[in-house]
Amino acid sequence: PETGCLSIIVLGASGDLAKKKTFPALFNLYRQGFLQSNEVHIFGYARTKISDDDLRGRIRGYLSQGKETDEVSEFLQLIKYVSGSYDSGEGFTLLDKAISEHEISKNSTEGSSRRLFYFALPPSVYPSVCRMIKSYCMNKSDLGGWTRIVVEKPFGKDLASSEQLSSQIGELFDEPQIYRIDHYLGKELVQNLLVLRFANRLFLPLWNRDNIDNIQIVFREDFGTEGRGGYFDEYGIIRDIIQNHLLQILCLVAMEKPVSQKPEHIRDEKVKVLQSMLPIKDEEVVLGQYEGYKDDPTVPNNSNTPTFATMVLRIHNERWEGVPFIMKAGKALNSRKAEIRVQFKDVPGDIFRCQKQGRNEFVIRLQPSEAMYMKLTVKQPGLEMSTVQSELDLSYRQRYQGVVIPEAYERLILDTIRGDQQHFVRRDELKAAWEIFTPLLHRIDNGEVKPIPYKPGSRGPAEADELLQNAGYVQTHGY
C-alpha cells in the first residue's frame, strides 16, 4: 500500500450525507487502523461560517452511537474546517493552504501526498467545484501521490444532462481519478455475487435461459420520502433506486465471466450487459405513488413522480434471451427489504406432481439480515412418500457470528484510498444506464405515463403483482 501524507477533504461537510454517512465511515476506518493519525488529516469544507469545534460538535453525535470514547475524541482532533463558497477561488485557496500546511508538517519531504476530495454536495455544484479543485487544490508534490474525487448520484436527470456533466468533469479529471459511488456496490452480498457465480461449479451450468425462468431484483422501504420530498420529487424512484442500485445488481447477476478479477475486466462485462438491453415496453411497466405523498409541502400538488415502480428488463443475448428481469422498487411499502430472487423453471416430466408447492428458487437477501437460501423440494419426513418445499439456508448472522459486516460507505471509501475502481461506476457504464431509462423517464416527465395511487404500508398497486405473474413469476410459499 502507498504511504505518505493523506488528506481527505469532505466538501459539503455540514450537510446530511457527510454527517450521517461520510464522517461515520471515516471514523470506522480510523478505529480499525486504516487511517493512521501520523499520516491522515481530514478537512471539512462548506459555506457555513463555523469553527473547527463547531463542526466536530455536529459530527460527534453520529460517531460510535453517540458515545464519547477516547477514539472519538482522537478522531475529531484530526478534523479541521475551512469555510468558503463552491465557486470562488478565495475559499479554495484557503483550503489548499490548509492542506499544504498539513503536508509540510507531516512528511512531504519523505513521501508522496495524496488528496481525496469527497463530494457530499448537490450535483449542480460539481462542475464549479471540479474547476476550483483543478485550479487551486491539486497535489503538487514532486514525490508522487495523487488527487482523486469521489462523486455520488444523481449524475444528471437523463442521458443528455448526464453526458453534459460527464464531459464537464471529464475535461478536468481523468477517468482513473474519478470515483462514482453507488453505495449498493459496497454491500456485502452484492460484493459476494461474483464469487458466488464464478467460484461455484454448481451455478455455472445452471445460470442461463435453459434453467432460469425469471429473475427479480427488489427494493422495498417501509417509510416514505420524509424530509426529502423536494429532492425526491425531482427524481422519482426510477432515478433514485432502479437506474443505479438495482441496475448495478442486475449487471453482476447477468454478466459473463470476466477475463480476470481486474476492475477493468469486470466493468467491461457489466457494460456489455447494459448495451444488450432491449427498450422497455410501456405495457411492462407499472408505476405507483403512495397516498399522502403530495401532502409534503415541498412536493407540488400535481406531482406525477412515481414512488413505486415495477418493470421488466430484457437482455438480448445468448444467455438471457426470453428471461424477464423484473425490477421492483418502492417507498412506503409494507416492509424494508432488498433481495434478488432467481426462479428456476419447472421440472420436466415431474413424477411427484410437486409443482404446485413451488419451484426451485435461489434468494439472496442483501438486507436486513444478510442471507442466501435455496428453495428445494424434499421428501416430507415420515412414513408417507410425499413432498414438501424446504430451504437450504445460509443466514449470515448465524453462520458468521461475531463477524462485523462493514458499512457500504466504509468499504468504498477505503477502495478510493487504495485506488481500486472495481466497485465504482465507469463513465461508459453510466451512459449505457441512462440510455436504457431515458425514453421512459421522458414519458413520465411529460405526464404520458401516470403512477397508480397505493396505500402506504401496502404491497404497492395490485397491477404490479399482475405484471409479475404475466412475466412468469410463480408465487412461492413465504413470499
- Count other C-beta atoms under 10 Å from residue 199's C-beta: 10
CA–CA gap between residue 244 and residue 274 (Å, rounded): 12
- Short-list 424, 264, 251, CA closest to 325: 251
For residue 419, give the C-alpha cell. Answer: 485506488
Considering the complex, state which of residue 233 and residue 240 has its C-beta at the smaller distance from ligand BG6.
Answer: 240
Residues known to be catalytic: 245
Cα 455–456–459 angle (5° rounding)?
75
Least distance in angstroms from the C-beta of 303 to ligand BG6? 16
Least distance in angstroms from the C-beta of 17 to ligand BG6? 10
For residue 323, give the C-alpha cell. Answer: 428471461
For residue 465, give the C-alpha cell. Answer: 403483482
CA–CA gap between residue 427 and residue 444 (Å, rounded): 25
Considering the complex, state which of residue 190 and residue 440 has its C-beta at the smaller distance from ligand BG6.
Answer: 190
Q: Taken in order 220, 157, 255, 407, is the CA torsion positive or negative? A: negative
CA–CA gap between residue 330 and residue 460 (Å, rounded): 7
Least distance in angstroms from the C-beta of 219 to ligand BG6? 7
Least distance in angstroms from the C-beta of 401 to ligand BG6? 23
Considering the complex, state which of residue 99 and residue 338 has its C-beta at the smaller distance from ligand BG6.
Answer: 338
Please identify which residue in the block is written with the cell numbers 428453495.
375
Considering the complex, state which of residue 117 and residue 219 has its C-beta at the smaller distance from ligand BG6.
Answer: 219
Interface pick for ligand BG6 out of 96, 103, 163, 240 (rule CB under 6 A):
240
Please identify which residue in the block is written with the cell numbers 458499512.
407
Considering the complex, state which of residue 97 and residue 397 has its C-beta at the smaller distance from ligand BG6.
Answer: 397
CA–CA gap between residue 7 and residue 313 (Å, rounded): 42
Site for ligand BG6 in 196-235 (CB under 6 A): 221
For residue 331, give the C-alpha cell. Answer: 417507498
Beta strands in 306-422 (DSSP E): 308-314, 324-330, 337-344, 361-367, 371-379, 387-395
Least distance in angstroms from the C-beta of 13 to ligand BG6? 20
Q: Which residues pair with 339 in a beta bridge?
A: 218, 365
Torsions phi, psi for 305 (to 5 deg): -75, 125
CA–CA gap between residue 332 and residue 106 (Å, rounded): 49
Considering the complex, state which of residue 240 and residue 429 has its C-beta at the smaller distance from ligand BG6.
Answer: 240
Binding mask 318-357 for ligand BG6 (x = CB under 6 A): --------------------x-------------------
For residue 243, give the C-alpha cell. Answer: 437506474
Considering the complex, state which of residue 163 and residue 240 has its C-beta at the smaller distance from ligand BG6.
Answer: 240
Judge whether 254 and 319 are in contact, CB under 8 Å.
yes
CA–CA gap between residue 133 and residue 179 (Å, rounded): 15
For residue 343, give the C-alpha cell. Answer: 426462479
Considering the complex, state which of residue 231 and residue 352 has its C-beta at the smaller distance from ligand BG6.
Answer: 231
3-class secondary-structure state, position 405: coil
Count of residues interacting with ligand BG6 (CB under 6 A): 3
Least distance in angstroms from the C-beta of 16 to ligand BG6? 11
Q: Does 163 bind ligand BG6 (CB under 6 A)?
A: no
Count CA atoms closer than 13 A to 462's CA, side-chain side: 0
The residue ranges that bind ligand BG6 (CB under 6 A) are 221, 240, 338
